[in-house]
Structure formats: C-alpha cells, structure tokens
Chain A
Amino acid sequence: MHGNSARSQSDKQSETEQGLTSANVEGLLQYSSDIVFRRLHINGRKDLPVTMVLIDGVIDTKAVDDYILKPLIQEGSLSECSSTSEIIEKIEHGVIYHAAAKIRRDFSECVNDIIDGSVALIFDDDKTAVTFDIKGFRERSISEPTGENVIKGAKDSFVENLRTNTASIRIKIKNPRLVIEETKIGKQTATRIAIVYIKGLTNAHIVEELKKRLNKLDTDAVLTTGVIEEAIVDRKTSPFPQVITTERPDKFCSTIVEGRVGLIIDGIPVTIVVPGTFGAFLQAPEDYSQSFIVNSIIRSMRYALMLVTLFLPGFYISVSSFHIEMIPTDLALAITASKEGVPFLTFIEVIFMLLAFEVLVEAGLRLPKNIGQAVSVVGAVVVGQAAVEARLVSPAVVVIIAVTAISSFTMPNQDFSNALRLWRFIFAILSSIIGLYGLTIGAIILLNHLSSIEVFGVPYLSPFVGGEGKNLQDAIFRFPFSSMRKRPMNLRTTNKKRRGAE
C-alpha cells in the first residue's frame, strides 16, 4: 500500500542520512518561506529546549496558541520534569490537550506529518518529535453541486478536503463495516487517496484489483482524476468512460451500497466509482426521487435520445443522399427546397455543422461564464441564421444538428456524452460512404466494441448482458423499489439481497 510513499521517503532519508533533530528538519525545510521554526524553552527552563515546526497557513494558528504553546509555557507540572524524555511522556499522556498526538522517532515520518499540516515539537536530545494534527486550512465550504443538480434531493457536494468528504460519507452510511482505506500516490505530490467500500458486501476481488492497480501506478502528481482513471480502467483505448465520476455524496453512497468501490482523492471535489457500467451512465441522480412511472418514461426517452444523438446525422446523410425513396414525398420535396442553392454535398454540410457545434461547445467551456453566454448567443445566430442565409448549409441540416445537439445534452454523464460525440462523427463518415449499410456496419462495430469491454471483471454492457435478463428492473425502465430485490448481479456482491434476509 505504501510503496510509493516509502520510496519517496527513502529518497529523503538518503539526502540527510541523519536522525530526527531540529537541525536536520531545518536543513530540509529551511528554503521555504512559509515554514516556521520556533525554539522554545519549556516553562522558561533553558535545559528543556524544544523546537516547534509548522507550516504557516496550513495549520490553525489560534489552536496552536491555545492548546500547544500555552500549556508548554504555563503548565506547572512540566517544570517539575528533569529531562525532555519525561516531558514527552507527559505530553503522550495528555498534558497538551489535543486529540491526535503522535510520537515520531523517524525523520521522514515527522517531515511527512509537518507537510500534511501538523505541528511538530522536536526534542533534539531524544531525537523524538510529537506531532499534532491541527489542520486549519481555510477551505471551501460544502456547497450545492454545480454539475449534477437535482430538485428533490440532497444539496451537498464533495469539497477539496479528503477528510470532509469521508465525513460526509460516514454521515450518510452509518455502518461499522464501511471501510475507508487510505493510501498515498504521486512521487512529488503524495496525494492521499481513500478507497471506500463496505466489507462483507462489496466483492473483495474488485477491491483487491483496484488496490493492485493503484499500487502499480507510478506518477509524479495526482492533481486530476484523469491520472487515476486512466490507471485503473481496463480498456484504455476506448472513448467510453469506465468509471463513474460524481460530485454528489448521495450518489456516491448509493453506488457504494449497490456494491461498487469508491475512490476519493484529496484536493479534488470529484469522486470516482468503479466499475462503471453502461446502464449507470444513463442514470441521472434525480431518477430515484421521482415516481417510477414518470421516471420510466423519462429514462426510456433518455435511451432513445442516446440513439438519436448517435445516429441522426448519419441517418440524415444516408437517407438524403442514398435512400431518397425512403423519405415521405412531401418531406423529400421540402428538403430539396431547403437545399436549393447550397453548393455542398449533404455530407459536407452535416460535418460542417457538427464541427461548428463542437467549436461552440468548446468555446463556451473555455471562456469565463459571463462571456460564455455571449458566445452561445452569437454562435447560435451566426451558425444558424447566417450560415443558412449565406447558403452554406440548408435549414434542414441546421434542424438535424440542433436536434442532435440538444439530445446530447440530455446525457447525464459528460464523459459518456463525449464518447457519443466521437462515434457520431464515425457514423456520419461511414454513412456518407455507403449509406445505411455503412451506418449498420458502424452500429455493429460499436456494439462489438462495447460488448468486448470488461471493467474489473464486470461486463460493460451490464445490466443488458450477463444477468440473464434478471437485472432489468433498473435499466431502460425503473421499476418500483419493491421489485429491486437484489443488488446488480454482475457486480457479484458478497451480500446479494437488497431486501429480505440479510
């Protein structure tokens, strides 16, 4: 588990080659302006020196003043000690009132604690340090999720702080079997990563496999989810997401309870859940707070819109350039009228509009929020109206692309939507070569691709494959909760039943 951090520690060790003394710590940390060293004499006794080391800004200064400095200087019982080792013993047994005090005799452990946001009291004579975890970094408070909004449902989201995030999970899942294992990844950043699962429920193989893959990961920095995601997915060449990412604790918890394994990365307010399966990417957080009848309609519509956003441009190209007899006559005539005076092939029109749409989306993302809105308005007007008036594209194509674009916005998962974006182009190109035949070939290849992916031993197309049709209560339609008696079969959970016997 600590392979990487161990390695980085040994690097530091070889740099100093010395024991745990204030001089050595200072030697390593002196170049930074935010590190504070203070040499103190306990109770004013010059024979009891101690060095306090802390990183300014990371720790809570007020707490240090009140709970560490004050007792050190004023506590009468400390003055009775004859040596620093006695003081260490007293501190260990509670003279300084703080919950998390650790005795460190190892240099690198101590340094790691300091960097993590602890205050260290280094006693040079004993080559020992006492570290207190007094993190006081002013962090963003828990706010409403920005990406995954719901009307009925929890309004909290994950934040950058790992501990806050684990806390919001603990609050939601009050189960002693909930395990939050921590590890550090990243040679330079040493980012803390928590693996979350429920012991005795989650399939242990998935947990083991996840740990194995994380240990193998050799990287400098973990500052984005992508680093972790890429390291743990099975098929790295697929554009389709194979992990679920969410910023909502309630969604995270529901996947954990379902039997999946979660990952929380320190410093990133987005969590990762494995394995990500096809069905999960078409579930919106709101799905479970609506009436199952309404939700079934909405969700089946979402599946239909997925097909629309994938196939519509290709289908339009096929039908209007190869299979004109398939269009109802009046519609065909309307298309000819709209295409009157447009010099390009339908294929080029469609690709042009698709690219224009991609450009707009990208531009809207890059720009600051308030300018982004202007871009979308300008883009819509320019691309829609002006292009039609300039006879660059026909109005029919604008309608087709608009429908495609709007359908793609209904996808609950952005990564999934991006994969569909890519395949949409492939379908458009195949259709332009040999019409519906090409579209069919493309669809077969896509299906083949999707069904060949396995994520942590779970078929990607779950629950549509591998469950013998028994797991379809929560697929295209959402059945009432009373009918979802079992956890997803393909996750092979140890505890299979949701309802009934434990």
Chain B
Amino acid sequence: MRYVKMIVLLCCFICCPVVLTGCRIAFWDTTQINNIEFIRAVGVDKADNGNIRFTIATQRIISGGARGGSEQKQSEIVYSEGRTSFEAMRNFWSYSEKRPFLGHLEFILIGEEAAKEGILKYLDFFTRDAEVRLNLNVFVVKGNDAGEVIRQGNAQDKFVFDRLEGIKRHDWGLSIINDVNLMEIMYILDAKYLSLYIPCVRLLNRAETTEESRDGMEIALEGFAVFDGDKVAGYLDKEMARGLNFLKNKLKSGVVNVRSKNGTMVALEIISGGSKMKPYIKDGELHIAVEVEMDSSIAEIQGSENIFSDDSLEYLEKQQEQAIMDEVRKTIDFAQEKKLDFFGAGDAVLHKYPYEWEDFYEKDWRDVFSQVEFEITARSKISRTYDIKQPIGAKDIR
C-alpha cells in the first residue's frame, strides 16, 4: 500500500513540471551534448544598414579518432545579422550544423558604434534569454568594431575568449579595469541616479608589444567607458580608471611612481587601498569628504640613495598621497564635468541623508552632483620595506 502511494506521488512529482510549466524538458526533447555549438564570445555591432550584427566565436574540440589521438581545439567565427538581437541570434541557427547554445557565453564585446548608439538595444536579449549566464563579462571596444577584435584576436592557437579571460584574470596587477557583469549593468541601468561604466579593451598593434614586426593585433585593457544612460559618453584613461577603482573600493594592486627628496625615482607597489565617502551638509550646501587610504611597499629604487629612514619614508608617503589625490581628483572632475555619477556618490548621500535626498537631491541629482564640492584627503603608509633594507651599491656611497 505504501508503495502504491509512493508510485502515485512519484508520478505527480514528475508530471508537475512537465505539465504545469510548459517547458519542453523531457529527454526526447533535450539536445545531446555532442550536438551543441558552444558560443564563447559575441561581438555586438551596428551593421551599415542599421541592423544588429553579431560576430560569434564558437569553440569545439575535434577528437583525434577512436584510438585517442590528439584532440584539437578549434574556434570558428561566424557572422549573423538581424533587425533585433534575438533575430540575429536565431539567424545563426539557419546555418549552424549544431544547436547554438548560449550557456557557455562568457564575453560580450560591444563595438564603439553600438556603444554610442545605446547598449540597451543590444543587451536586452542577453538579459532575458534563459540560457545566458548573468555573470558574463561585458567589454566595450574602444576605437573599433567588436567584430574586428574577435577576428583579430582569434589566432590559430589562441582564441579571443581565452585571451580576454587571461587579461581579465590578472587585471589586479594594474587595477585599471574591473569586472562588470551583465547583472551589474542591469542593476545600474535600473538605478536612476547611477551612471554605468564598462571596462574597455582596444586592439594593439603587435609591433607595440613585441620586437618582431609581426602582423596581427593584441587585445589590451584600456580603462573604462562611461555611459550617459545607455550611450557612451566618454572614456576614462588608465589613470582615471584607477581613480575610479579607488572610489569604488575595488583597488587590488598597482604602481605608484614617486621621487624621493633627492630626486631618485621610487616605484611603490600598492598592497591595498580604498576610500570612504562622507557626505555632510554645511550651510545648506552639500559637501562630500573623500578619504582615500593606501598601503604600499617599496618595489624598486632607481639609485643608491638610502631612503629607509623615517624622514625619507615620510616624505615618500606624502608624495604618494599627493599622487593618489591627483588621480582621484581627476576622476571626480571628469565625472562632474560630464554630470555622470558613475562612482556612486549618490548612494553615499542617500544613505546618510535619506530625507534630504528625497526632498532636494534626487530629482535633479545630476545637476547637484556637478556642483558638489569634493574634499579629498589621503592617508597612506609604506608598510613593507622588505628585507633588503640597503639599496644596491649603498656601501660605496657610505
């Protein structure tokens, strides 16, 4: 009797999702894994005729036969056009041997033209589609079509998505970009007073990075693109990009070059850094105090000067404080000039003064923001001087 009950229950459980959700999920409808085309990166561009043009990088492995010969990874680049993103993607189905699958899509590259026109039109499909992972990374291509980057980035042995993955993975070394995924983009576009920023890549002539004058291009990180609504409004260069990372507390590492008292160039490695935004209202005027903090270690000394004295370290600290403050100031100035609050000053005000925010600031926050006085202070410390305390060659000088 108990077993009959169990079987009935089991049938109910299995039937519910089949009948109630309307999903075609039973096994006769699933696509087997070997019939799937893995889409790894999509370049989104505006076609000449106003259509949407996708450049799709897929990946597959060609197995080396039954006896287990060497397997070869391949990447293919295909184009697909349509009046809408969805149509463009579905058009790909018409000539794809296997079923295109977006579950492994990791990168969306937005071409410069498309970014200028407004990215919402291109990205909405990706946020809506059930297959797409919302944690995929979005990049804006500076100075090129996205298609061009994918074409150039895909070599015989190196694929564009692997390169992007690589440069993304060790972006902490310079902190000039930050991951921005689809979910964050959706969130920022929803918030009225926030402005969107998306990391940029650009194509770099190989001649710039290698000595051999080889053909081809490299993909390089290039700060951020800042958006007014969903249209690109300007680009942050590398310095301002790091300033933004300071402000967003997303700084991981980086290089600060300063001069010592005697003019020796010293490179400092940022160990940790961040900032606090403290809004306050004084005489009815909104001020925001930005307190930047940084911790660094000495990475390089260009000379034999002994800088490991309290005096000289203090001097270096002052110098690096000044350097960061300049960086942050530059970023804030840029934001105020464009009237784009992309680093979240509005959030800070909202949380500190919720009533005032609602009454005075929320409505025309962009104008208010451009007039706010930012007072930047910095505190820094050179905390690791490492074991080699004496500079190389210091003996002779002494």
Asked if B14 and A433 make an inter-chain contact with CB atoms under 8 angstroms apart, the answer reads: yes
Contact A320 B104, CB 8 Å, known A325-B131, A433-B26: no
| Complex CA distance for A286 and B10, rounded to whole angstroms | 40
Q: Are B34 and A336 in contact (CB under 8 A)?
A: yes
Residue of B nearest to A394 (CB): B34
Within 8 A of B (CB), among A440-491: 441, 445, 448-449, 452
Is the beta-carbon distance between B59 and A329 smaller than 8 angstroms? yes
Nearest CB in chain A to that of B30: its residue: A321
Query: Considering only CB atoms, which chain A residue lies closest to B61 in the complex?
Result: A337
Assess whether B25 is in contact with A339, with CB atoms less than 8 Å apart.
no
Specify which chain B residues have a CB less than 8 angstroms from the CB of A329 in the assembled complex.
38, 40, 59, 104, 106
Q: Which residues of A contact B32 (CB under 8 A)?
A: 320-321, 339, 345-346
Does B6 contact A325, Cβ atoms closer than 8 Å?
Answer: no
CB nearest neighbor in A for B9: A445
> Once bound together, how far apart are the Cα atoms of A90 and B59, in whole Å?
100
Q: Looking at A237, A325, A346, which has the most chain B CB atoms within 10 Å of its CB?
A: A325
Taking CB atoms, residues of chain A closer than 8 Å to B73 are 333
Question: Is there an interface contact between B61 and A438, defined as CB atoms closer than 8 Å?
Answer: no
Docked pose: A452 CA to B6 CA in angstroms: 12
Give the residue name and chain of the B residue nearest to A328 (CB): B104
* CA–CA, A336 and B106, complex, Å: 19
**B3 near A337 (CB under 8 angstroms)?**
no
Contacts of A324 in B (CB 8 A): 33, 36, 101, 103-104
B71 at the interface (CB under 8 A from A): yes
Instruction: Find out whether the CB atom of B26 lies under 8 angstroms from the CB atom of A332.
Output: no
Minimal beta-carbon separation of B26 from chain A (angstroms)? 6
How many Å from the CB of A429 to the closest CB on chain B? 10
CB of A85 closer than 8 Å to a CB of B:
no
Given A321-B32, A332-B104, A336-B33: A237 touches B60 (CB 8 Å cut-off): no
Q: How large is the interface on B (under 10, 10 to 19, 20 to 34, 35 or more residues)?
A: 35 or more
Given the interface pairs A321-B30, A342-B34, the reply to whether A434 lies near B62 with Cβ below 8 Å is no
Task: Label chain B's interface by main secondary structure.
Answer: mixed
Query: Cβ of B304 < 8 Å from any Cβ of A?
Result: no
Query: Is the beta-carbon distance between A333 and B14 smaller than 8 angstroms?
Result: no
| Residues in A neighbouring B18, C-beta threshold 8 A | 434
Q: Is the CB of A333 within 8 A of B61?
A: yes
In the bound complex, CA of A59 to CA of B60 (Å): 78
Q: Is A435 an interface residue (CB 8 A)?
A: yes
Any B CB within 8 A of the CB of A334: yes
Q: Hey, which chain B residues are within 8 Å of A342, CB to CB?
A: 34
**Are A336 and B60 within 8 A (Cβ)?**
yes
Interface contact A322-B25, CB-CB below 8 Å: yes
The residue from B3, B66, B103 contacting A325, defined by CB atoms under 8 A apart: B103
Query: Within 8 Å CB of A441, what residues of B?
Result: 10, 13-14
**Choice from A333, A434, A448 contacting B17 with Cβ under 8 Å:** A434
A325 nearest CB neighbor, chain B only:
B103
In Å, the complex CA distance between A434 and B106 comes to: 26
Please measure, in the bound complex, the distance between the C-alpha atom of A337 and the C-alpha atom of B26, giving whole angstroms: 24
Closest chain A CB from B115 CB (angstroms)? 26
Q: Which residues of B contact A335 (CB under 8 A)?
A: 33-34
Contacts of B13 in A (CB 8 A): 441
On chain A, the residues within 8 Å of B104 by CB distance are 324-325, 329, 332
Q: Which residues of B contact A433 (CB under 8 A)?
A: 14, 26-27
Q: How large is the interface on A (under 10, 10 to 19, 20 to 34, 35 or more residues)?
A: 35 or more
Decide if B351 is an interface residue (CB 8 Å cutoff): no
Asked whether A340 lies within 8 Å of B25 as measured between CB atoms, the reply is: no
Interface residues in B58-73 (C-beta closer than 8 Å to A): 59-63, 66-68, 71, 73
Could you tell me if B67 and A389 are in contact, using CB atoms closer than 8 angstroms? yes
Which residue of the partner chain A has the closest CB to B103?
A325
- Contact A449 B6, beta carbon cutoff 8 Å: yes
- How far is B58's CA from A332's CA once the two chains are assembled, in angstroms? 13
Q: In the assembled complex, which residues on chain A have CB atoms less than 8 Å from the CB atom of B71? A: 334, 337
Query: Are A391 and B66 closer than 8 Å at their CB atoms?
Result: yes
Chain A residue nearest in CB terms to B35: A336
Count contacts between A and B, CB distance < 8 Å: 88
> For residue B34, which residues in chain A have a CB less than 8 angstroms away from its CB?
335-336, 339-340, 342
A140 to chain B, nearest CB (A): 42
Give B83-101 as 1s and 0s: 1 = Cβ < 8 Å from A's Cβ atoms. Answer: 0000000000000000001
Judge if A8 is at the interface, Cβ distance under 8 Å: no
Interfacial chain A residues near B3, Cβ < 8 Å? 237
Decide yes or no whether A437 CB sits under 8 A from chain B.
yes
B133 at the A/B interface (Cβ < 8 Å)? Answer: yes
Q: Could you tell me if A347 and B27 are in contact, using CB atoms closer than 8 angstroms?
A: yes
Report if B128 contacts A (CB, 8 A). Answer: no
Q: Does A432 contact B (CB under 8 A)?
A: yes
B residues 1-38 touching A (CB-CB < 8 Å): 2-3, 6, 9-10, 13-14, 17-18, 25-27, 30, 32-34, 36, 38
Let me know if A161 is at the binding interface, CB within 8 A: no
B17 to A437, Cβ gap below 8 A?
yes
| Complex interface: chain B residues within 8 A of A79 (CB) | none
- Let me know if B131 and A434 touch, CB within 8 A: no
A338 on the interface (CB 8 Å rule)? yes
Closest-CB distance, A443 to chain B (whole angstroms): 12
Separation in Å of the B166 CB from the closest CB of chain A?
14
A residues 165-179 touching B (CB-CB < 8 Å):
none
In the complex, the chain A residue whose C-beta lies closest to that of B12 is A441
Q: A337 to B63, Cβ gap below 8 A?
A: yes
Contact A338-B63, Cβ < 8 Å, known A324-B103, A325-B133? yes
- In whole angstroms, what is the CA distance A337 to B64 when docked? 9
Q: A433-B27, A441-B14 are in contact. Are A321 and B66 (CB under 8 A)?
A: no
Contact residues in B for A452 (Cβ distance below 8 Å): 2
Instruction: Report the Cα distance A356→B221, complex, angstroms.
Output: 53
**Taking A320-B33, A321-B32, A432-B27 as contacts, is the C-beta distance between A389 and B38 under 8 angstroms?**
no
**Which chain B residues lie closer than 8 Å to A434 at the CB level?**
14, 17-18, 25-26
Encode contact with B along A340-357: 1 for CB under 8 Å, 0 otherwise: 111001110000000000
Inter-chain contact B59/A321, CB cutoff 8 Å:
no
Closest A residue to B10 using CB positions: A445
Residue contact B59 to A346, C-beta cutoff 8 Å: no
A344 to chain B, nearest CB (A): 9
In Å, the complex CA distance between A445 and B30 comes to 25
- Interface status of A375 (Cβ within 8 A of chain B): no
Judge if A307 is at the interface, Cβ distance under 8 Å: no
Report the separation of the CA atoms of residues A388 and B66 in the bound assembly, to the nearest whole angstrom: 7
Given contact pairs A322-B30, A325-B104, A325-B133, A389 touches B59 in the complex (Cβ within 8 A):
no
A432 to B32, CA, bound (A): 12
A143 to chain B, nearest CB (A): 42
Residue of A nearest to B3 (CB): A237
Query: Within 8 Å CB of B67, what residues of A?
Result: 389
Instruction: Please tell me which one of the listed residues A336, A345, A430, A449 contacts residue B61 in the complex, with CB atoms under 8 A apart.
Output: A336
If A325-B131, A329-B106, A339-B34 touch, does A334 touch B27 (CB 8 Å cutoff)?
no
CA distance A321 to B26 in the complex (A): 10
Q: Are B33 and A445 in contact (CB under 8 A)?
A: no
User: What are 30 A-B interface contacts by the 8 Å CB criterion?
Assistant: A237-B3, A320-B32, A324-B33, A324-B36, A325-B101, A325-B103, A329-B59, A329-B104, A332-B104, A333-B60, A335-B33, A336-B33, A336-B61, A337-B61, A337-B63, A337-B71, A338-B63, A340-B34, A340-B63, A341-B63, A345-B27, A346-B32, A347-B27, A389-B66, A391-B66, A430-B14, A434-B14, A438-B14, A441-B10, A441-B13
Taking Cβ atoms with an 8 Å cutoff, the residues of B that contact A are: 2-3, 6, 9-10, 13-14, 17-18, 25-27, 30, 32-34, 36, 38, 40, 59-63, 66-68, 71, 73, 101, 103-104, 106, 131, 133
Which 5 A-B pairs rank lowest in CB-CB distance, beginning with the nearest? A325-B103, A337-B61, A339-B34, A337-B63, A441-B13
14 extra interface residue pairs, beta carbon distance < 8 Å, beyond A321-B33, A329-B104: A321-B27, A324-B104, A329-B38, A333-B38, A335-B34, A339-B32, A339-B33, A346-B33, A389-B66, A434-B14, A437-B17, A441-B10, A441-B14, A445-B9
